[in-house]
C-alpha cells in the first residue's frame, strides 16, 4: 500500500475517507471523489490525480479550495495519497468494493464481524484466520490471499508508473509478466516493456526511461527505437524497409544522430533480431520472423507447383456439361476457362470483382471434384466469410485459425501434422498476411492442391505483406480472372457502382423516388454528416427497411479519427441505440453496456477469438470484475483486459475485409484525405449485401475514386518467386 506521508507542498491539507468515487479515469489517474473529511460537516468534492482508489480508503490531499462555476465548492489537489482504512465500517466498505476477487459486500461484512477492526492486518500476516469466517473454505481463502497479494503488488506498480508519467491501466498485465521483479526490471531497462507487454509500446517505455534519467542517446534507447521504427513499418503492411527509410524514421522518432542509429541498427542485426536483405537491388532490413515467412511461403508454393493435381485427368468439356445440367446454371466463357485451369493445376488463383460468378465457379468445381472422391477443406480468414462459403456451397467451411487448430500462440497443424485433405480452398485470400499464409502452406499435405480465391482490387491485408498481389505479380502461379458481370448481378446498383468505382468512375445514385439498394446522401461538412448518420442508423433505415440497428447496420469508416471517424461515431450511435446505464463499465475510453456490438482487436489463441471477430456484450459481473461477450460461444474478459475489445457499431473499412453486412453506411469526408483511395471505397461498397448508403461530401467521394495510387508495400515474395 502507499505510504501515508504527503510531500511537502504549498497549500492546505485535506484528510478523510473516500465515500464515493464519482469518476476515475484509469489511464490518466484523474479522479473526482466525494470525501467525508475531518472538520467538514458535509461531504467534500475532491478533484485530483491518483493511480488507484477504492471506496472506504483514507485519503490525504494537499491543494486549495476552488469555487467551480458549474460544480460548486471543490478541493483541487496537487497531490493525493491513499491508505487502507482503520475503522470497522471503513474496512468493510473497502473489502466489499470489489478490490479482491471472492469478496463481495456480504462476505466483507462477515470478515469484519469475525476478524474485527484488525481484519486487514490479519489477512496480511495471518491469512489462515480467514478459515474461521463462515462461508470461507480452503479454496476461497487461497483465492482471497492470492488476490490480496496481487493487489498489493499491482498497487506498488501503479504508483511507480503514475510517478513516472505513465497511465496505470496496464499494471495487472505487467505484474503477470514480471511478478515481484516488475519495478526492478522497469528501473533497469524500461524498454523491455515495449517487447514484453502487450499494450505498452515504445513511447510509453520511453516516458518511463526519461523520467528515470535515461539520456536520448543511451544505446538501450536507440536499439529499442530502431526496432520500434521497423515494427511501425510492419504495422503499415511492410515486411521490411529500405535502410535509409528506416534510419529516416528513427531519426524523426528518436531525435538522435544518424551515425549513432546506424550503430544501434548494426547491433540489432548482429543479435539476429533484424535481418539484412535486398528488394530489387535496394538494401533493406526485416524482422527475422517476416523475412523467414516470405522465404517459407515461396519454398512451399514452388514445391507444390512441381507436382500434379491429386485427381486423375478430367475432361473439362464433359465436366462442364455435367455440372451445368446438375446445377441448372450456365457458365460464362471466363468461368469455363477458369474451371479448365483449376482442373489441370495443382495451385490456382481465381480473382474477380462482385457479381462475376466466383461463388458459382467454386460451387461447380467442388461438385465436379466431389464425384472423384476428393477430400476438400474450405477456409476463410474470418468467421463471417467462412459462414458465407458454407451457406453458398453446402460444405462446412472454417476460419483459417480453426482449420489449423490453434495451440498456444501457434497451430497444431504443420508439416509434422498436416491437414487431411486433397484440396484446400481459401476464400478472401486478399486478407491473408504473410504469417497466416505461411501457416497454411506449412500445413498443406505434399499431395494436396491449393485453390486461392480473392479480389485483387480490394484492400490488401491488415497484417504485413501483399500475398495475393505478389503471387499474381510473380506470374509463377496460374491465374484465372473473371470479368463478366452476370445479368442478375448487373441489376444491383451496389454491384454496378462497385465496378464503376473500380474503373475510376463516380458511383451513380438512383433517380429521385426510385427504389434502390445504393444511395448517396450528400452533406456539406462532417458535423452535418454525424447528424445525418445517427438519424439514418437509429430512425430512417429501421423505419423504412426494417433492419435492426444493433445487429444489421454497419458503419464503415475510412479511418478512426475525426468527427466521421469510427471512434466518434461509435460514441454517438451508442448514445441513441444502446445508451450506457448504471450497470455499464468504463475502461480504456469506452463504456461497455450489455447489448453493445464489439470487436476483438487482437488474436487471442487462449480464448479462441481472433482479430476482427464481432460479438455482443452478454453480461457484466461487477463482483467478479468480468465482462462476458457472446461470439460463437460466450467468452469472459477480466475488466483489466478490456483493451482488446473495441466498440463496433462503426469500424474501419480495413477491419471489415472478409465480412458482409445486410446494410453498410459509409461516411466520406475530406478530413479523411490521407486515406481516400479507390480500393478503400470499392472495398467498403462491396461489403454491403442489401443496402449501401454513402454519406459524405461529393469532393471526398471524387477524391477517393480518382486516387488509384496504392502505397507500395516493401515485400520480397514476388521477387523470390520470380527468381527461384
Known binding residues for ATP are: 355-359
Exposure class string for 120-151: b at 16+ Cβ within 10 A, else e: bebbeeebebbeebeebeeebbebbbebbebb
Contacts of 461 (CB under 8 A, 6+ apart): 237, 430, 431, 432, 433, 467, 657
Burial of 614 from C-beta contacts in 10 A (0-12 / 13-18 / 19+): buried
Q: Round to whole Å and give the CA distance between 425 and 348.
A: 10
Q: Round to whole Å and give the CA distance between 599 and 594.
A: 14
Q: Round to whole Å and give the CA distance between 456 and 441.
A: 20
Closest CA to 703 of 679, 671, 670, 680: 670
Q: Which three cell numbers stand for residue 301?
A: 508454393
Q: Which three cell numbers stand for residue 502?
A: 473500380
Q: Round to whole Å and give the CA distance between 645 and 450.
A: 34
Residues belonging to the binding site are: 355-359
Closest CA to 263 of 297, 228, 217, 299: 217
Cβ–Cβ < 8 Å for 14, 77: yes
Cβ–Cβ < 8 Å for 349, 429: yes
Cβ atoms within 10 Å, residue 543: 10
Task: Kindly give the pairing relationship between strand 650-652 and strand 376-380.
Answer: unpaired
Q: Which three cell numbers stand for residue 670?
A: 475530406
Cβ atoms within 10 Å, residue 330: 11
Helix/strand/coil (H/E/C) assignment for every residue in 558-592: CCCCCCCCHHHHHHHHHHHHCCCCCCCEEECCEEE
Q: What are the phi and psi torsion angles at 562 (to 5°)?
A: 95, 165
Q: What are the phi and psi torsion angles at 21 (to 5°)?
A: -95, 105
The helix/strand count (H/E) of the chain reads as 27, 28
Q: Which three cell numbers stand for residue 62?
A: 494537499
Amino acid at each position: 500500500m502507499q505510504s501515508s506521508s504527503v510531500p511537502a507542498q504549498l497549500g492546505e491539507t485535506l484528510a478523510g475517507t473516500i465515500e464515493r468515487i464519482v469518476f476515475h479515469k484509469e489511464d490518466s489517474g484523474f479522479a473526482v471523489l466525494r470525501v467525508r473529511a475531518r472538520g467538514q460537516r458535509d461531504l467534500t468534492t475532491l478533484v485530483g490525480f491518483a493511480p488507484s482508489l477504492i471506496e472506504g480508503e483514507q485519503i490525504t490531499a494537499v491543494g486549495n479550495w476552488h469555487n467551480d462555476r458549474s460544480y460548486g465548492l471543490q478541493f483541487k489537489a496537487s497531490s493525493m495519497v491513499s491508505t487502507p482504512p482503520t475503522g470497522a465500517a471503513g474496512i468493510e466498505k473497502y473489502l466489499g468494493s470489489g478490490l479482491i476477487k471472492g469478496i463481495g459486500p456480504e462476505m466483507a461484512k462477515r470478515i469484519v464481524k469475525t476478524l474485527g477492526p484488525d481484519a486487514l492486518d490479519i489477512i496480511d500476516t495471518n491469512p489462515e484466520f480467514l478459515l474461521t469466517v463462515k462461508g470461507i473454505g480452503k479454496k476461497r481463502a487461497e483465492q482471497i490471499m492470492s488476490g490480496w497479494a496481487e493487489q498489493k503488488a499491482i498497487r506498488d506498480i501503479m504508483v511507480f508508473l503514475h510517478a513516472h508519467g505513465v497511465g496505470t491501466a496496464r499494471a495487472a498485465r505487467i505484474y503477470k509478466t514480471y511478478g515481484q521483479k516488475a519495478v526492478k526490471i522497469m528501473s533497469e531497462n524500461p524498454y523491455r516493456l515495449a517487447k514484453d507487454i502487450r499494450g505498452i509500446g515504445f513511447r510509453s517505455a520511453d516516458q518511463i526511461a526519461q523520467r528515470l534519467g535515461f539520456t536520448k542517446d543511451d544505446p538501450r534507447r536507440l536499439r529499442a527505437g530502431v526496432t520500434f521504427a521497423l515494427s511501425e513499418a510492419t504495422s503499415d503492411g511492410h515486411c521490411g524497409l529500405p535502410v535509409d527509410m528506416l534510419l529516416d524514421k528513427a531519426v524523426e522518432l528518436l531525435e538522435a544522430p544518424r551515425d549513432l542509429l546506424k550503430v544501434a541498427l548494426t547491433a540489432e542485426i548482429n543479435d539476429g533480431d533484424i535481418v539484412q536483405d535486398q528488394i530489387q537491388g535496394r538494401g533493406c532490413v526485416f524482422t527475422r520472423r517476416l523475412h523467414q515467412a516470405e522465404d517459407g511461403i515461396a519454398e512451399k508454393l514452388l514445391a507444390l507447383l512441381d507436382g500434379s493435381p491429386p485427381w486423375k485427368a478430367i475432361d473439362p468439356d464433359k465436366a462442364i456439361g455435367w455440372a451445368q445440367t446438375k446445377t441448372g446454371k450456365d457458365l460464362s466463357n471466363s468461368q469455363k476457362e477458369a474451371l479448365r485451369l483449376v482442373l489441370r493445376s495443382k495451385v490456382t488463383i481465381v480473382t474477380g470483382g462482385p457479381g462475376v460468378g466466383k461463388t458459382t465457379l467454386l460451387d461447380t468445381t467442388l461438385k465436379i471434384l466431389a464425384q472423384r472422391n476428393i477430400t476438400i477443406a474450405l477456409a476463410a480468414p474470418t468467421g463471417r466469410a467462412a459462414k458465407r462459403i458454407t451457406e453458398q456451397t453446402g460444405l462446412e467451411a472454417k476460419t483459417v485459425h480453426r482449420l489449423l487448430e490453434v495451440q498456444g500462440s501457434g497451430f497444431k497443424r504443420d508439416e509434422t501434422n498436416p491437414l487431411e485433405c486433397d484440396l484446400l480452398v481459401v476464400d478472401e485470400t486478399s486478407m491473408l498476411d504473410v504469417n497466416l499464409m505461411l501457416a497454411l502452406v506449412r500445413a498443406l499435405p505434399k499431395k494436396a492442391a491449393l485453390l486461392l480465391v480473392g479480389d485483387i482490387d480490394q484492400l490488401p491485408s491488415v497484417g504485413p505483406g501483399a500475398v495475393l498481389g505478389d503471387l499474381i505479380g510473380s506470374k509463377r502461379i496460374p491465374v484465372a480472372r473473371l470479368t463478366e458481370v452476370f445479368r442478375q448481378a448487373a441489376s444491383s446498383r451496389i454491384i454496378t457502382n462497385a465496378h464503376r468505382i473500380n474503373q475510376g468512375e463516380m458511383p451513380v445514385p438512383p433517380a429521385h423516388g426510385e427504389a434502390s439498394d445504393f444511395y448517396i446522401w450528400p452533406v456539406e461538412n462532417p458535423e452535418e454528416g454525424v447528424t445525418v448518420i445517427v438519424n439514418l442508423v437509429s430512425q430512417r433505415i429501421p423505419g423504412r427497411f426494417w433492419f435492426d440497428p444493433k445487429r444489421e447496420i454497419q458503419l464503415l469508416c475510412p479511418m478512426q479519427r475525426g468527427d466521421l471517424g469510427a471512434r466518434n461515431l461509435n460514441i454517438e450511435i451508442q448514445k441513441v441505440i444502446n445508451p450506457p446505464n448504471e450497470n455499464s463499465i468504463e475502461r480504456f475510453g469506452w463504456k461497455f453496456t450489455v447489448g453493445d456490438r464489439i470487436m476483438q482487436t487482437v488474436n487471442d489463441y487462449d480464448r479462441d477469438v481472433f482479430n476482427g471477430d464481432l460479438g455482443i456484450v452478454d453480461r457484466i459481473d461487477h463482483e467478479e470484475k468480468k465482462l462476458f461477450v457472446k461470439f460463437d460461444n460466450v467468452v469472459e474478459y477480466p475488466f483489466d483486459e478490456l483493451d482488446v475489445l473495441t466498440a463496433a457499431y462503426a469500424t474501419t473499412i480495413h477491419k471489415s475485409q472478409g465480412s458482409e453486412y445486410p446494410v453498410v453506411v459509409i461516411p466520406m469526408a475530406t478530413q479523411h484525405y490521407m486515406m481516400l483511395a479507390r480500393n478503400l471505397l470499392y472495398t467498403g461498397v462491396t461489403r454491403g449485401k442489401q443496402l449501401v448508403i454513402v454519406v459524405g461530401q461529393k469532393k471526398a467521394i471524387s477524391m477517393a475514386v480518382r486516387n488509384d495510387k496504392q502505397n507500395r508495400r516493401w515485400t520480397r515474395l514476388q521477387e523470390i518467386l520470380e527468381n527461384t
